[in-house]
C-alpha cells in the first residue's frame, strides 16, 4: 500500500523519519508531499495513494475524487474540520484523527498566552499575575483538562463546562463545574476556549458572552477562529476597554482589531498550538501506526465517519 504524507505545513524532520520507518517496517511504500501550493498538486500526489496522512490540509470532495485508490485518511491532530467527512463516507474512505497527541503543546500555549497578556505582551509596563485568578475552561476535552491541571498548579482556581462531560467528572478532575456558559464567562478572569468547530459552535462566542466577563478579563482562543463571532468580539472590545483577546491564528478582522485595540489583542501569525517537535512526532507517529493497524487488522478505533 502507498502511504502519502501530504503537508502544506511540514512535520518536523524527526516526525517524517519516524512515520517513514513505521510505514516501511510494515511493508508499505512511503511518499511525501510538503509545502505544496495548490490543490492540484495535492490531487496529483494523492492519485495513487492508498492512505494519506495530513495536518491542517483540506481534504475536499475534489481531492477525494482525485485520490481514487484512497482507503484511509488520517488527520494528525485533534480538530478535523479540514476533512470533508460526508465525502469520505460517500467514497468509503475511513477518516480518523489522532486525539490527545498534541494536547500538551496546545495547553502550554494557552497558559503562555495568559501570562503574555497579563504582562503586557512582555513590555516593561506593570502587569498582573495569574496566581489567584479564576480560569474558565470551555470544553473539558484533552486540551481543556490539561490547561485546567496546569492552571491549578500555577495557583489559579478553575471552573469548566462541557455539555458532554458530567459535572462529577469535571469535579473529579479538580475543576468546579459551571452551570452554564453565562456563569463561566461572568465569573472568570480568563476564559480558555477548547470547543471544536462544528455547525453548532461556529460563531457561538459573541458580544453577549464576551461583555459578561468581569473587569480586566482575557479571552484565550486556541481552538478555531471560526467559533468566535468576529463582529461581536470587535464591538465587545470597543464597548469594554478593559477586556483583552488572545488567539492562536488571526481572526479575519485582525488589522482592524490591532489598529483599534493595540496590545489588548494578540494573534499568532500562523496557527502554532501544535507546532512543537514533540506534538509533531506524537501525532505523526500515531497517524502512521493507525494506518498500519488498519491495513493489518481493520482496527477503526479512531474512525470519525462511522
CB of 185 to ligand NAD, least distance (A): 13
CB of 8 to ligand NAD, least distance (A): 14
Which residues of this chain interact with ligand NAD, rule CB under 6 A? 77-79, 99, 102-103, 106, 139-144, 162-165, 194-198, 200-201, 222-224, 248, 271, 273-274
Please say which residue, 67 or 97, places its beta carbon nearer to ligand NAD: 97
Shortest distance, CB of residue 163 to ligand NAD, whole angstroms?
5
Nearer to ligand NAD, 162 or 189 (CB): 162
- Measured at CB, which residue is nearest to ligand NAD? 141
Element (H, E) at 304: none
In which region does residue 139 sit, left (phi positive, over 0), alpha (psi from -120 to 50) or beta (all else)?
A: left
What's the CA gap between 77 and 186, in Å, rounded? Answer: 31
Q: Is the dihedral of CA 45, 47, 50, 52 positive or negative?
A: positive
Reference 38, options 15, 18, 66; nearest CA is 66
User: Of 46 and 158, which CB lies nearer to ligand NAD in the complex structure?
Assistant: 158
Closer residue to ligand NAD (CB): 15 or 78: 78
Using the minimum distance from each CB to ligand NAD, give the nearer residue, 53 or 66: 53
Report in angstroms how near the CB of residue 239 gets to ligand NAD at its nearest: 26
Element at 245 (helix H, strand E): strand 244-247
Distance CA 207, CA 230 (A): 9
CA distance 4 to 253: 35
Amino acid at each position: 500500500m502507498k502511504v502519502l504524507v501530504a503537508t502544506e505545513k511540514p512535520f518536523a524532520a524527526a516526525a517524517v523519519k519516524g512515520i517513514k520507518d513505521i510505514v516501511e517496517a510494515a511493508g508499505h511504500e512511503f511518499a511525501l508531499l510538503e509545502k505544496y501550493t495548490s490543490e492540484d498538486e495535492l490531487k496529483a500526489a494523492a492519485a495513487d495513494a492508498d492512505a494519506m496522512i495530513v495536518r491542517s490540509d483540506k481534504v475536499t470532495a475534489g481531492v477525494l475524487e482525485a485520490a481514487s485508490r484512497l482507503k484511509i485518511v488520517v488527520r494528525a491532530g485533534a480538530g478535523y474540520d479540514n476533512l470533508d467527512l460526508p465525502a469520505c463516507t460517500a467514497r468509503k474512505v475511513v477518516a480518523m484523527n489522532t486525539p490527545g497527541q498534541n494536547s500538551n503543546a496546545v495547553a502550554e500555549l494557552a497558559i503562555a498566552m495568559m501570562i503574555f497578556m497579563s504582562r503586557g505582551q512582555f513590555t516593561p509596563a506593570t502587569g498582573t499575575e495569574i496566581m489567584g485568578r479564576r480560569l474558565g475552561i470551555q470544553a473539558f476535552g484533552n486540551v481543556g483538562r490539561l490547561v485546567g491541571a496546569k492552571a491549578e498548579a500555577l495557583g489559579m482556581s478553575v471552573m469548566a463546562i462541557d455539555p458532554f462531560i458530567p459535572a462529577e467528572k469535571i469535579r473529579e478532575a479538580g475543576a468546579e463545574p459551571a452551570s452554564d456558559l453565562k456563569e463561566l464567562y461572568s465569573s472568570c478572569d480568563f476564559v480558555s476556549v477548547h470547543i471544536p468547530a462544528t455547525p453548532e459552535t461556529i460563531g457561538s462566542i459573541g458580544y453577549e458572552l464576551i461583555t459578561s466577563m468581569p473587569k480586566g478579563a482575557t479571552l484565550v482562543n486556541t481552538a478555531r477562529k471560526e467559533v468566535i463571532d468576529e463582529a461581536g468580539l470587535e464591538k465587545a472590545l470597543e464597548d469594554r476597554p478593559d477586556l483583552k483577546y488572545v488567539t492562536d491564528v488571526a481572526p479575519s478582522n485582525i488589522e482592524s482589531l490591532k489598529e483599534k485595540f493595540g496590545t489588548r489583542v494578540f494573534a499568532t501569525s500562523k496557527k502554532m498550538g501544535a507546532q512543537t517537535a514533540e506534538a509533531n512526532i506524537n501525532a505523526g507517529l500515531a497517524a502512521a501506526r493507525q494506518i498500519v493497524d488498519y491495513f493489518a487488522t481493520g482496527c477503526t478505533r479512531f474512525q470519525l465517519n462511522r
